[in-house]
Amino acid sequence: MGRKPTKFTAFLWHRRTGLVAIALVIILAITGIMLNHTEELKLDESYVESSLLLGWYGLEPEGEAISYDVGEHVITVLEHQVFFNTYPVARTGQRYRGAVKAEQLIVLAFDAELMLLTHDGELVERMPTGHSFSDIQRIGIKYKRPVIETSEPLYYMADEHILDWDVIINEDITWAHKTTLNDKKMAVLLESFRGRGLTLERVILDLHSGRLFGEYGIYVMDAAAVALLWLSCSGLWVWWRRKLKQKSKRHYQKHHRS
């Protein structure tokens, strides 16, 4: 004997739609209440620190910060952004090879480019090195002048104006060494990298609208709104049908009592 097929009544549809929509409805309700009290909850003054959320919004850097001391300052490259202490000065797509403080300027070395900064961190010039030398491996200092080591290896020292370079031997060169930022300095650097940061109000707004879930998130929340309308209409329909059945049953019992 075959199994009797399930009959999808309005009651069944109402129940199943409610189960699917309940999570989204809860999100809409809670976020809506929070947004109505933004000032009291200070949502626009609270900043998100979750790496997961910051990464979702593209505000969490990929890779590690590479830093070199240049006297009392630090030059750091974090995800292609060059920082003088915590102030962004330029962007680069090349590998960071180091930085030194020369007599007149701070010199940053990359694979095939030098970047010149004043001692106050102002960008002076970017110098491609392809015509003079390339494939920079590291940078050092000698007689207060920058020295470059290439992959050959050859060693080039600049003149006092950092315009011409001469080949020298590898003697008495102080090479730049990486430094590690402490937690406090790293936190300030990350804050600078992220700009003003991500407010809790922004996250809740995006959660309420569905934009937090990606390109099609708004349609998910639209579906939740439609589900609410369906639940309201189907609930009324189920209530009306039951009332009619009860009325019909009472009418039948009244006229068919033995």
In this structure, are residues 155 and 169 in contact, taking their beta carbons and an 8 Å threshold? yes
The pLDDT of residue 206 is 84
Judgement on whether residues 229 and 149 belong to the same structural domain of the protein: no
Judgement on whether residues 136 and 222 belong to the same structural domain of the protein: no
The pLDDT of residue 216 is 72
User: What is the b/e burial string over 55-73, where b = at least 16 CB atoms within 10 angstroms of the residue's CB?
Assistant: ebeebbbeeebbbbebeeb
- Cα gap 45→38, rounded to integer Å: 9
| Tens digit of pLDDT at every position of the chain (258 positions) | 455 544 445 556 656 666 666 777 778 788 888 888 888 888 877 777 777 777 677 767 778 899 999 989 999 999 888 999 988 899 898 999 999 999 889 999 999 999 999 999 999 999 988 777 778 999 999 999 999 999 888 999 999 888 889 999 999 999 999 999 998 888 888 878 876 667 788 888 888 877 777 777 677 777 767 767 766 676 676 677 677 766 666 655 666 655
Judgement on whether residues 69 and 179 belong to the same structural domain of the protein: yes
Q: Considering the domain boundaries, does residue 91 fall inside one?
A: yes
Q: Considering the domain boundaries, does residue 30 fall inside one?
A: yes
Judgement on whether residues 190 and 70 belong to the same structural domain of the protein: yes
Judgement on whether residues 42 and 66 belong to the same structural domain of the protein: no
Q: Considering the domain boundaries, does residue 9 fall inside one?
A: no
Judgement on whether residues 224 and 111 belong to the same structural domain of the protein: no
Query: Which runs of consecutive H residues, i.e. helices, occur in the chain?
Result: 10-36, 38-41, 51-56, 183-194, 200-209, 217-255
Judgement on whether residues 164 and 224 belong to the same structural domain of the protein: no
Chosen domain end from 135, 168, 194: 194
Q: Does the reported pTM lie above 0.75?
A: no
The pLDDT of residue 61 is 78
Judgement on whether residues 187 and 213 belong to the same structural domain of the protein: no
Q: Considering the domain boundaries, does residue 142 fall inside one?
A: yes
Q: Considering the domain boundaries, does residue 147 fall inside one?
A: yes
Q: Considering the domain boundaries, does residue 12 fall inside one?
A: no
Task: List the one residue out of 109, 140, 145, 154 whose CA is nearest residue 127.
Answer: 109
Judgement on whether residues 189 and 74 belong to the same structural domain of the protein: yes
In this structure, are residues 111 and 95 in contact, taking their beta carbons and an 8 Å threshold? yes
Judgement on whether residues 80 and 190 belong to the same structural domain of the protein: yes
CATH number for the domain spanning 99: value is 2.130.10.10
Q: How far is CA 219 from the centre of its chain?
A: 23
Q: Considering the domain boundaries, does residue 217 fall inside one?
A: yes
Judgement on whether residues 143 and 38 belong to the same structural domain of the protein: no
Query: Which residue range(s) make up the domain with 139?
Result: 62-194
Judgement on whether residues 228 and 146 belong to the same structural domain of the protein: no
Q: Considering the domain boundaries, does residue 136 fall inside one?
A: yes
Q: Count of domains in the chain?
A: 2
